Structure 1
Amino acid sequence: MRKTLITLAFLLQSICSMAQKKVPFFSIPDTTTKSHVWILSGTTVALYGSTLAVLNTAWYKGYPRSSFHFFNDMGEWNQMDKAGHIFSAYFIGKYSREMWRWSGLPPKKQIWIGGLSGLAFQSVIEVLDGYSSEWGFSWGDMGANAVGSALLISQELAWNEQRIQVKFSSHLQSFDDPVLQRKANELFGTSYWARTLKDYNAQTYWLSVNLHSFNKDSWLPKWLNIAVGYGADGMLGGRDNTWTDKNGIDHDYGHIKRIRQFYLSPDVDFTKIRTGKKGVKVIFQVLNMLKFPAPTIEINSQGNMKLHALYF
């Protein structure tokens, strides 16, 4: 949960930097430009360093430190946190790769430098987790980070484009039961942004496939995608729905089923929409993080099927 929040803040900071320097879309050189390489290197180090410094002093400040240790969290949250790691590593790498186009370095170097940046950034966070008694170094998280980076790099090397993109959507969720609502507030926060980024019950992660890119002669619009999504619901804790509150009262909500949800929906690839305005291109890159709201078919792990007129 917290890593998704931190990563999205990092992405927005990176995007603002790119827009200010006009890096990803303006005057991309044909050959290596050393001044551009130095600017990009300095920007990357500054962004990474400042973000990790804030994280190390602020986020971990309220939790006791410990010796380095491992933590197996593969069974938690129906693996929604792992989907978040894939998404985060993918998009840090994607935006970094776009920035490095401005360097003029050979394309393969741009791809590897940019693509591995997501894995590198997430790996440092994982090491910091290893020294926190609240968490620990998770090989499951590292594996998910590697999947996100690999998904980006492999497509760039094979097709020089992202035909299959990782996207995110989230909706607000509330409970009529005051005990459940209080527990949700403790776990996921009360503000709109906190609930959007922390509540695994409300999140969906998507693989959005651009149809036209797999058949260049197709009559289908270049911007039309088909997206397959994964979500979960009914989760009031990492592994089960029982807990003891701060007053020592035990709560057992094991009757609430922890379910997995699978989605199928049309989507939009904003980067395939033609525009001559460079600022709009930056906005389209940002919008492509998100799944476009559309009619959606849902099938859950209990065998139930729903049709959503509009799902986000």
Structure 2
Amino acid sequence: MKKYLLLITLALLCYRSTAQKKEPFFSIPDTVSPGHIWILGGASLTLYGTSLAALNTAWYKGYPRSSFHFFNDMNEWLQMDKAGHIFTAYIISKYNRELWKWSGLSRKQQIWIGGFSGLGYQSVIEILDGFSSEWGFSWGDMGANAVGSALMVSQELIWNEQRIQLKFSAHPEKYDDPLLKEKAENLFGPSFWERTLKDYNGQTYWLSVNLHSFAPQSNWPKWLNISAGYGAKGMLGGDNNIWTDDHGITRNYTHIKRVRQFYLSPDIDFTKIKTRKKGVKVLFQLLNMVKVPAPALEFNSEGKVKVHALAF
């Protein structure tokens, strides 16, 4: 979940370049603008370098380094971490594609730059993982990164729009048991934001499909989406719920079941809501990263079906 450190900075850069389009210099050019390309290229390199340096300090601090090594984590966290990789690569690719519209480059060039930006950034992070004794270079993560970038690129090339968008939602997970609370703080951190980004038990990743885009002759509202979500709960470790605490005592919490959750819920595509205000358009782009709270139907790996009045 460390990949989310880039998203806020990307959003701010997206807002700046869009909000200033009232001036001629910041309008989207009809032809290639070398000046804009240099600015975007320099800003991207600075942004990537700064965020990677911050990540290298914040995320890997306190963990010993090692020689480069591989690590197979495909069976961990019920693949929630892989969903996070797909989502993050998709979002980075999508916003980069939007930013590079300002370059005046051809549509296909913008699309490929966006796609490779998401994949490239994630690849560098994966290499950093390879030099950390706590983790390792994961081909599963790299595959997930490629899927996220490919989802953005393929839709732009085929439909010239994002008919299927990836979204995220999270809610704080409560740990009333003192031992579970201690374990959760060690794993996911004590603060609200750390829990939001690291605690897979409270996260859901959504595949949000715009109905009108696939059936333009229908009476479906253009902003209405249907979303399929994936989440999981009961995870107190990567692959099991047994651990040794700080006092050397083995804790066995295998009675807590690790459960996969699948959701079906209505959603909103904010970019389909018409507005002439550029600031509102940017806000709608940012809101589209997050799944709108709405009623949902849940199917889980225990064979149970649940109805949620509000899922997020």
TM-score range, shorter chain: over 0.9
Q: Distance in 1 between matches of 2:225 and 2:20?
A: 24
2:171 pairs with 1:171? yes
1:115-194 alignment, distance < 5 Å: 115-194=115-194
C-alpha displacement of 1:23: 7.2
Q: Deviations for 1:6-55, whole angstroms, at most 9, x for unmatched residues?
A: x3231111211222233796621121111111111111111011111222
Identity %: 68
Deviation at 1:242? Answer: 0.5
CA distance in 2, matches of 1:18, 1:119: 19
Residue number in structure 1 paired with 2:9: 13
AA aligned opposite 2:18:
K
Q: Residue 22 of structure 1 aligns to which amino acid in structure 2?
A: T
Q: Secondary structure at the match of 1:201?
A: helix
Q: Give me the whole-angstrom Cα distance separating, in 1, the residues matched to 2:175 and 2:159.
A: 46
Give the corresponding residue for 2:237.
237
Q: Deviations over 1:173-201 (max 9, x none)?
A: 11222211221122112211111111101
Which residue identity is paired with 1:254?
T
Look up the SS of the partner of 1:22 in the other structure. Answer: helix
Unmatched segments (≥5 aa) in structure 2 = none
Deviations along 1:220-263, one digit per CA (max 9) or x if unpaired, are 11110000000001100000000110001111011111010000
1:240-259 map, 5 Å? 240-259=240-259
What residue is the counterpart of 2:275 in the other structure? 275
Report SS of the residue matched to 1:219. coil
Query: Take 1:270 and 1:206, find their aligned partners in 2: how far apart are those partners?
Result: 15
- Contact conserved, 2:19 with 2:279, CA < 8 A, in 1? no
1:157, 1:186 → 2: CA distance?
44
Amino acid at match of 2:210: N
Q: Would the aligned equivalents of 1:23 and 1:102 in 2 still touch at CA under 8 Å?
A: no
Instruction: Decide which moves more: 234-243 or 31-40.
Output: 31-40
Q: Residues 24, 98 of structure 1: CA spacing in aligned structure 2 closer, same or farther, 3 A cutoff?
A: farther
Gaps in structure 1 of 5+ consecutive residues: none
- Do the aligned partners of 1:24 and 1:101 also contact (CA within 8 Å) in 2? no
Offset, 1:56: 2.4
What is the CA–CA distance in structure 2 between the aligned matches of 1:14 and 1:157, rounded to whole Å? 23
SS of structure 2 residue aligned to 1:213? helix
Question: Is contact 1:170-1:196 (8 Å) kept?
Answer: yes
Q: Between 203-212 and 182-191, report the one with greater CA deviation.
A: 182-191
Superposed, which structure 2 residues align to 1:202-217 within 5 Å?
A: 202-217=202-217
Could you tell me whether the CA contact under 8 Å between 2:261 and 2:300 is conserved in 1?
yes
Encode CA deviations 1:49-86: one digit per residue, 9 max, x unaligned: 11112222343232111111000000100000000000
Q: Distance in 2 between matches of 1:275 and 1:295?
A: 27
Contact 1:23 1:99 in 2 (8 A): no
Relative to structure 2, which stretch is displaced further, 25-34 or 129-138? 25-34
Distance 2:99 2:60 in 1: 30
Tell me by how many angstroms 1:279 deviates: 0.8
- How well do the aligned residues superpose, as a CA RMSD in angstroms? 1.3
Select between 58-67 and 280-289 the one with higher mean Cα deviation.
Answer: 58-67
